[in-house]
A and B are shown apart, each in its own frame.
Chain A
Amino acid sequence: MSAQERLSAVVGHLNPLKTSGKAKILEKHADDIVLTLAIRTPLTKARKGGLKDTPLSDLLISILTALREKSNIDPALIEDVCLGNVLASDQAYIARSAVLAAGFPATAAASVTNRFCSSGLLAIQNIANQIISGSIDVGIAVGAESMSTCPDKGPPSMGDTIEKHVLAGQNTQPMGQTSENVAGQFSINRKAMDAFAAGSFQKAETAQKAGWLEGEIVPVKTVIKDPTTGESKEIVVNKDDGIRYGTTAESLGKIRAAFPQWSPSQTTGGNASQITDGAAAVLLMKRSTAIKLGQPIVGKFVGATVVGLEPRIMGIGPSLAIPKILGKFNLSQTDVDVIEINEAFASMGVYCVQKLGLDPAKVNPRGGAIAFGHPLGCTGTRQVVTALSELRRTDKRIAVTSMCVGTGMGMAGIFVSEH
């Protein structure tokens, strides 16, 4: 009955055994949703790179075949494949057909999901949710985009009611205009944008030269047409081609504005994401299933969320989606080791880093879409592949991945590496 014992009782009440958000997401439970393989194709420049003549169907067959072979999974166990794709017409035909052509049996279903640049992450969330709810046990999420063969035509005409609506009408603005809106409204200057973009190139250059990207990439065997002779030949694409070595803020500063018609006209071909072809895929199941099948667990899907905002400044979506997903899992920024923000434009990249006070060393440590390119539907899955590879290399655990989404949204997800 000493005061000391009473004091320690009270102190015990105040130091709850309650686990922190971080400790909680690092716990391993049988019904966790885990990734047992995460791969991507090289990302190559649209209309110029090695994948320029590879249609979406062949891109998909290539990545799905690679996934089937590398994972060693019995293809009969795949119950559903969700494709994140933004631009292709006839997506649903292509998705299901590519699954079958990639060596999966008739029992493997397929669907398509499209929320613009978040489609690849949404595909992961869709498959994970199906597994959580017990609809399926094993599934594949794949993000793929052939911007060479399905070019982005920008916003369509949507009729008077939408175009005259105060919010919906903003969706007639092209993405480039929304980048200028962000730069203008939040006073992001050209210098900061070029510095951000140069950082992306420099980090990607380091990663490529050091061979870190090889852990993400599976080569694509395809056919390319010579633009002058029209002759087709077989090639193997095994390297990203968008990374311009030796890029500096000064060299980017010389590039002229891409959108002189929209003030402040700071966005350039050098500080915006590149137009690119590519695909990425992950294999998802419960931890208990992975253990039963002897599948190696590379990471865990913790959760994802989405936000909406004014379409005219859609770029700042991650500045809302990241705090939202961190809050849902009781995490702080310091708990997170890698933060992937899709670099649609340097304007929104600079804004998000500043607004959230992010540690620049944690943001896109291997560079982002400014250096690699941004195959719209692929990016959401590609960032997960990149983040898990980087966590594995640096022996870190937690990644947040996020992107702004055209028409004014943002998405963010949390993944844990279990290397």
Chain B
Amino acid sequence: MNGMLEFRTQGYNGYAVKYSPFFDSRIAVAASANYGLVGNGRLYILGLTANGIQAEKWYDTQDSLYDTAWSEAHENQIAVACGDGSVKLFDVSVPEFPVMSWQEHNREVYAVSWNLVTKDTFASSSWDGTIKVWSPNRPASILTLPTHSCTYSTAFSPHSPSVLSSVTSDSHLRIFDLRTPASASNHLVHLIPIHGPGSTGGISSVGGNRQNFPPAEVLTHDWNKYRDTVIATGGVDTIARTFDIRNPRGGPTTLLEGHQYAIRKLAWSPHLSDVLLTASYDMSCRVWTDGSTTAHPGIIGGAKQLGQMNRHTEFATGVDWCLFGAEGWCASTAWDERLLVWDVRAIMGQG
């Protein structure tokens, strides 16, 4: 594959990658020494230049970094999820230290997600079984949502400022709506079992013996950017699934099977409503269609893998799509200490 750009995060194993929502040439990578097991973390701010990818800046942290999210309101600000339970906010114009650091989570923070609608808050989720919502300006969290389960991923809906979601080690997708009264359910509006049988037509419902899955840890999820009720999930059982939360008891709409090991990260395309990108412990990144644009109206089917990128040599942990320009550019990071920037269209039909 030609045209692939590379940056070495020497000594640091990649955990997450994010394109800036403001600049098409700026990428952040959250990475950790010693595979994130023990030691420092490092946040790289990278620039795509005519001479390849250059490190514009980096910030070292005491403990490992597992995720990062650019501020949607301030082009220089970026949040990170830390192994020591802290959530930090860096400002690219401020050297060396974070401008904010919040120490509320009791265990590793594994995900951060910015509110894409009001842009003034962001959420974090942790192994301590909680999701917290923060404002960059406030010294303490605004809200804590319990999941009572190791919460690997949280995300704000791109369509509503008050809806957010999580996936957890208990094999469930949770949807919270902050407009509902807190009451006993803590804003929880849907608790969807990931492993439930599919609703994908006759074969799976009558031949259900072939479609039963045991519960498994769910590591990642993402909201579709065009269809406001569609969420994709991925995790330890190697299958990416899509759900339509209008039918929370209906089970997955599609099952995307192919990865050999757990899916660590997935992201819907910002350009094409049916296209999904995944990164896996099997070291591959894969592109999929959920079949929603090719299927005949009312008929589900056509979900399939479109291509596979095999250049990483260790667990692939992070993927993100470039929001700007042509529709296929993306970035991936892995435990092989590399960030790769590549065009999905170049791997279509492979693997």
Contacts and interface: CB of A to CB of B under 8 A. Distances in A.
Given A1-B83, A17-B215, A133 B209 contact: no
Q: Which 10 A-B pairs have the closest CB atoms?
A: A3-B38, A29-B209, A3-B37, A13-B262, A16-B236, A6-B37, A18-B237, A17-B216, A32-B209, A17-B214
Contacts of B202: 133
A27 B210 CA distance: 10
A361 interface: no
A27 B209 CA distance: 8
A7 interface: yes
A18 B235 CA distance: 11
Interface string B203-230: 0001111001011110100000000000
A14 interface: yes
Interface string A106-134: 00000000000000000000000000111
Given A3-B37, A7-B37, A31 B236 contact: no
Contact of B281 (A1, A13, A133): A13
A357 interface: no
B85 interface: yes
Contacts of A16: 216, 236-238, 261-262
Main secondary structure of the interface of B (DSSP, over half): loop
Nearest to A28: B209
Contacts of A3: 34, 37-38
Nearest to B195: A17
A16 B195 CA distance: 13
A185 interface: no
B83 A132 contact: no
B290 interface: no
B84 A1 contact: yes
B208 A17 contact: no
A14 B259 CA distance: 12
A19 interface: yes
B107 interface: yes
22 contacts: A1-B84, A1-B107, A3-B37, A3-B38, A6-B36, A6-B37, A9-B127, A9-B150, A12-B217, A13-B236, A13-B261, A13-B281, A14-B262, A14-B281, A16-B236, A16-B261, A17-B236, A18-B214, A29-B212, A31-B206, A32-B209, A132-B206
Contacts of B108: 1, 6
Contacts of B237: 16-18
Interface of B: 34-38, 63-64, 83-85, 107-108, 127, 150, 202, 206-209, 212, 214-217, 219, 236-238, 261-262, 264, 281
B261 A14 contact: yes
Contacts of A133: 202, 206
A17 B195 CA distance: 12
A18 B206 contact: no
Contact of B208 (A1, A13, A31): A31
Nearest to A133: B206
Nearest to B207: A132
A133 B36 CA distance: 50
Contacts of B36: 6
Interface in A15-52: 16-19, 27, 29, 31-32
A16 B218 CA distance: 11
Contacts of A27: 209, 212
A302 to B, nearest CB: 9
A10 B36 CA distance: 10
Contact of B219 (A1, A6, A13): A13
B282 to A, nearest CB: 10
Contacts of B208: 29, 31
A134 B206 contact: yes
Contacts of A9: 127, 150
A413 to B, nearest CB: 15
Given A3-B38, A27-B212, A13 B217 contact: yes
A62 to B, nearest CB: 34
A18 B236 contact: yes
B236 A12 contact: yes
Nearest to B205: A31
Nearest to B110: A9
Contacts of B83: 1, 6
Nearest to B63: A1
Contacts of B219: 13
Given A6-B37, A31-B206, A18 B238 contact: yes
A282 to B, nearest CB: 18
Nearest to B37: A3
A234 to B, nearest CB: 46
B35 to A, nearest CB: 8
Given A13-B262, A27-B212, 14 more contacts: A1-B83, A1-B107, A3-B34, A6-B64, A13-B281, A14-B262, A16-B237, A16-B262, A18-B238, A29-B212, A31-B207, A31-B209, A132-B207, A133-B206
Nearest to B212: A29
A362 B90 CA distance: 65
A85 B212 CA distance: 36
A31 B262 CA distance: 29
Contacts of A29: 208-209, 212
Interface centre among B35, B83, B108, B236 (most CB of A within 10 A): B236
Contacts of A31: 206-209
A355 to B, nearest CB: 26
Interface centre among B36, B207, B209, B216 (most CB of A within 10 A): B209
A202 B38 CA distance: 64
A305 to B, nearest CB: 14
B303 to A, nearest CB: 18
B334 to A, nearest CB: 14
A29 B211 CA distance: 11
A149 B34 CA distance: 77
A125 to B, nearest CB: 13
Contacts of B37: 3, 6-7, 10
Interface in A137-166: none
Contacts of A19: 214
Contacts of B236: 12-13, 16-18
A216 B131 CA distance: 62
